[in-house]
Amino acid sequence: MEKTEFLRNLEDLIEANPGSLTEKSVLADAAGWNSMAVMGFIAFADEDLGIAPAPKAIMACRTVADLMALAGI
C-alpha cells in the first residue's frame, strides 16, 4: 500500500477531512483518534494490510508516521 492510500484510509477511519493528515500529524491532535479508531485500525490492518498489530503497540504510536512504521509502510 502506498503512503497516500494509507493516509486516505486513516482519514476515512477517523472521519477527518481529506488531505488533512500527513506523516507528521500527531494522533492525539486528531479529533477522531480514540479507542474506537484504534479498534477500526486493527480491523483495517488485518483486512487490508494482512497484519495484526497489538492494541498496546498502536496506543504507543504518537504520530501518523509511527502508525505507518508499525504497518510496514
**Structural domain boundaries in the chain:** 3-71
pLDDT of residue 1: 87
**Distance (Å, rounded) from C-alpha 12 to C-alpha 18?**
8
Q: What is the pLDDT of residues 35-58, one digit of tens each?
A: 999 999 999 999 999 999 999 999
Averaged over 6-20, what is the pLDDT?
A: 96
Superfamily (CATH) of domain 3-71: ACP-like (1.10.1200.10)
The per-residue b/e assignment along 25-50, b for 16 or more CB within 10 angstroms, e otherwise, is bebeebeebeeebbebbbebbeeebe
